[in-house]
Amino acid sequence: MDRDTRGIVDPDALLKRVRFRRYEPAEALRPYVENYWFIDWDLPSPYASHVLPHPSVNLTFQWDSVDGDEGPPYGELTGVSAPGLYTRKIGGRGRVCGAKFWPGAFRPFRPDVPVAEWTGRVLPYQDVFPATDVAAIVSPGDDTGTESDSDSASASDSDSDRVAALDTYLLTLAPPDPDPDPQAELARALVARIRADRETRRVADLAATEGLTTRSLQRLFAGYVGASPKWCILRYRIHEAVEAAGTRTDVDWAALAADLGYADQAHLVRDFTATVGVPPTSYPGS
């Protein structure tokens, strides 16, 4: 398992409080699902976790306790979040078992609904998909903990059971291999290019590489990603800036701004502050 924490605000603080790990889905699901992510906690006091979400749809199954009483397990579908931070308070004991879809790759699971329809929304999963045995996925038990272990591929048998249960459920929903959606494949490829290539800075240039108009590209992203191409470009650049602020004390912000395609340092600082809530110099780790 990789230890990529991009998108998590102050990951050191979070990983001291939860046990976090990622797993690969079944091979047939890998064109659609980036990873499964599991988080367990057992906390004496509440903690607010903050995330700068990727342009991804997440399907989660979870349970948590309130004042020592375990609530029933439940599932949710979370669309691409609105601008800014996604904040969740956790406390007591709990677990989340999530499936993070590749940006652009969720639409084949609900081809009748543009992905923008889910943006900014958190829905009971059964409003979108058939009901399943949620308890078989989250299986409340005694293996919650606060020790981070992102490399626990050899982890507990219970995690293996949860992965298998997620695979079984999602494989029943996955589109048939003989009929891939070329638009979904294009959307996923374009978001991957934005994420990896710092030279991808302007929406018009991105559209031109595929022979599309800017408007056509925007429609593609609304239908398959759930966020605009401009939003995706900005979000991945802010991810890089947050990563730099949290891991280095010698950041040359003017140089980083230029490298990320900003007109100047002030524009980067403005976007960072508006998105994260504090300027780079006040970010944890700086």
Give per-residue pLDDT as tens, 31-59.
999 999 999 999 999 999 888 889 999 99
- Asked which of 121, 151, 173 is the last residue of a domain, the reply is 173
Give yes or no: residues 29 and 140 share one domain.
yes
**3-state SS assignment for residue 39:** strand
Residue 6 is assigned to a structural domain of this protein: no
Q: What integer pLDDT is reported at residue 165 of this predicted model?
A: 95
Residue 73 lies in a domain: yes
5 occurs within a structural domain? no
pLDDT in tens, 118-171: 999 999 999 999 999 999 999 865 555 554 444 443 345 689 999 999 999 999
163 shares its domain with 98: yes
- Do 130 and 207 fall within a single domain? no
Q: Are residues 164 and 61 in the same domain?
A: yes
**Which domain-ending residue is among 173, 200, 220?**
173
Q: Looking at the structure, do residues 28 and 168 belong to the same domain, yes or no?
A: yes
Q: What is the pLDDT of residue 285?
A: 59
Q: 4 lies in a domain?
A: no
Same domain, residue pair 137 and 46: yes
Domain extent at residue 156:
11-173
So what's the pLDDT on residue 157?
Answer: 67
Total count of domains within the chain: 2
Higher pLDDT: 192 or 251? It is 192
Mean pLDDT throughout 250-276? 88
> Do residues 104 and 84 both lie within one domain?
yes
Residue whose pair of structure tokens reads 């490298």 in the numeric block: 259
Residue 178 — pLDDT band, cuts 50, 70, 90?
A: low
Q: Are residues 276 and 143 in the same domain?
A: no
pTM confidence score = 0.89
Q: What is the pLDDT of residues 81-128, one digit of tens each?
A: 876 778 888 988 999 999 999 999 999 999 999 999 999 999 999 999
Q: What is the pLDDT at residue 37? A: 95
Q: Decide: residue 286, CB within 10 A, 0-12 exposed, 13-18 middle, 19+ buried.
A: middle
Name the nearest CA neighbour of 67 among 91, 48, 40.
91
93's tokens: 């004991």
